[in-house]
A and B are shown apart, each in its own frame.
Chain A
Amino acid sequence: MILVAELINDTAMLQEQEPAPSSVPPESPDAERSSAKPESLWKDMWYSLTQNKPAMVSLFFILLLVVIAIVTAVVPQVLPYDPYQQDLSQSFQAPSAAHWFGTDQQGRDIFSRVLVGTQISLTVGLLSMSISLVVGVALGAIAGYKGGVVDTVIMRVMDMMLAIPSILLAIAFMAALGQGIDKAIVAIGLVSIPEYARIVRSQILSVKQSDYVAAARVIGDTDAVIIFRHVLPNVLPSIIVRATLGISGAILDAAALGFLGLGVQPPAAEWGDMLGRGRNYIFQAPYAMIFPGLAITVTVLAFNLLGDGIRDALDPKARKR
Chain B
Amino acid sequence: MIKYIIKRLLLAIPVLLGVSIIVFLIMRVFSADPAPVVLGQHATAEAMEAWREANGLNDPLIVQYFNFLFGALHGDLGESYYTHTSVTAELMSRFPATIELALVAIVIATVVGIALGVVSAVHKNTVIDGVSMIFALIGVSMPIFWSGVLLIILFAGVLHVLPSSGRIDPLLQPVGGTGLYLVDTLLSGDIEAFVDAARHIVLPALALSLYSMAVITRMTRSSMLDTLNEDYVRTARAKGLRRGRVNKHHALRNAMLPITTVVGLQLGSLLGGAMLTETVFAWPGIGKYVVDCILKSDFPVIQGAVLLIGVIFTIINLVVDVIYAYLDPRIKYSKEEG
Residues of A whose CB lies within 8 Å of any CB of B are: 156-157, 159-161, 163-169, 171-178, 248, 252, 255-256, 259-262, 272, 275, 279, 282-283, 286, 289-290, 293, 296-298, 300-301, 304-305
Contacts and interface: CB of A to CB of B under 8 A. Distances in A.
Nearest to B154: A286
A311 B278 CA distance: 35
9 contacts: A156-B14, A159-B15, A159-B18, A163-B16, A171-B290, A174-B294, A175-B297, A282-B153, A300-B141
B141 A304 contact: yes
A118 to B, nearest CB: 16
Nearest to A301: B141
A26 B145 CA distance: 46
Contacts of A283: 153, 156-157
Contacts of A260: 275-276, 279, 291, 294
Contacts of A168: 271-272, 275, 306, 309
B210 to A, nearest CB: 11
Given A174-B294, A248-B141, A286-B157, A167 B275 contact: yes
B contact patch SS = helix
Interface stretch (B19-27, B114-122, B250-258, B322-330): B19-27
Interface in B16-48: 16, 18-19, 21-23, 26-27, 30-32
Interface of B: 14-16, 18-19, 21-23, 26-27, 30-32, 137-138, 140-146, 149-150, 152-153, 156-157, 164, 268-269, 271-273, 275-276, 279-280, 290-291, 294-295, 297, 299, 302, 306, 309-310, 313-314, 317
A255 B143 contact: yes
Contacts of A169: 22, 306
B14 A256 contact: no
Most B-side CB within 10 Å, residue of A156, A176, A255, A259: A176
Contacts of A176: 26-27, 30-32, 299
B314 A290 contact: no
A259 B30 contact: no
Given A156-B18, A174-B294, A304 B140 contact: yes
A259 B145 contact: yes
B65 to A, nearest CB: 15
Given A160-B15, A169-B306, 20 more contacts: A159-B18, A160-B19, A161-B22, A163-B313, A163-B314, A167-B275, A171-B290, A173-B30, A175-B27, A175-B297, A248-B141, A260-B275, A275-B149, A279-B280, A282-B153, A283-B153, A293-B146, A296-B146, A297-B138, A300-B141
A175 B31 contact: yes
A293 B150 contact: yes
A177 B279 CA distance: 21
A169 B294 CA distance: 12
Top 9 closest A-B pairs, CB basis?
A165-B272, A160-B18, A176-B31, A293-B146, A301-B141, A300-B141, A175-B294, A167-B272, A164-B310
A120 to B, nearest CB: 15
Given A175-B302, A282-B149, A157 B291 contact: no
B268 A165 contact: yes
Contacts of B280: 279
Given A159-B15, A297-B138, A164 B309 contact: yes
Contact of A163 (B18, B31, B275, B290): B18
Contact of A171 (B32, B294, B299, B317): B294
Most A-side CB within 10 Å, residue of B142, B149, B156: B149
Contacts of B309: 164-165, 168
Contacts of B141: 248, 297-298, 300-301, 304
A233 B14 CA distance: 34
Nearest to A259: B145
A contact patch SS = helix
B99 to A, nearest CB: 15
A165 B18 contact: no
A256 B22 contact: no
A282 B18 contact: no
A308 B295 CA distance: 37
Most A-side CB within 10 Å, residue of B16, B153, B317: B153
Most B-side CB within 10 Å, residue of A165, A173, A261: A165
A37 B80 CA distance: 67
B276 A167 contact: yes
A167 B275 CA distance: 9
A172 B302 contact: yes
Contacts of B27: 172, 175-176
Contacts of A300: 141-143
Contacts of A171: 275, 290-291, 294
Contacts of A159: 15, 18
Given A168-B272, A261-B295, A290-B153, A301 B138 contact: yes
A174 B310 CA distance: 17
Most A-side CB within 10 Å, residue of B16, B26, B156, B302: B26
A163 B310 contact: yes
B149 to A, nearest CB: 5
Contact of B142 (A164, A272, A297): A297
Nearest to A161: B22
Given A156-B18, A160-B18, A165-B269, A259 B276 contact: yes
Contact of A304 (B30, B137, B291, B317): B137
B137 A286 contact: no
Given A286-B157, A304-B140, A172 B272 contact: no
Nearest to A249: B140
A290 B294 CA distance: 26
Contacts of A293: 142-143, 146, 149-150
A165 B313 contact: yes
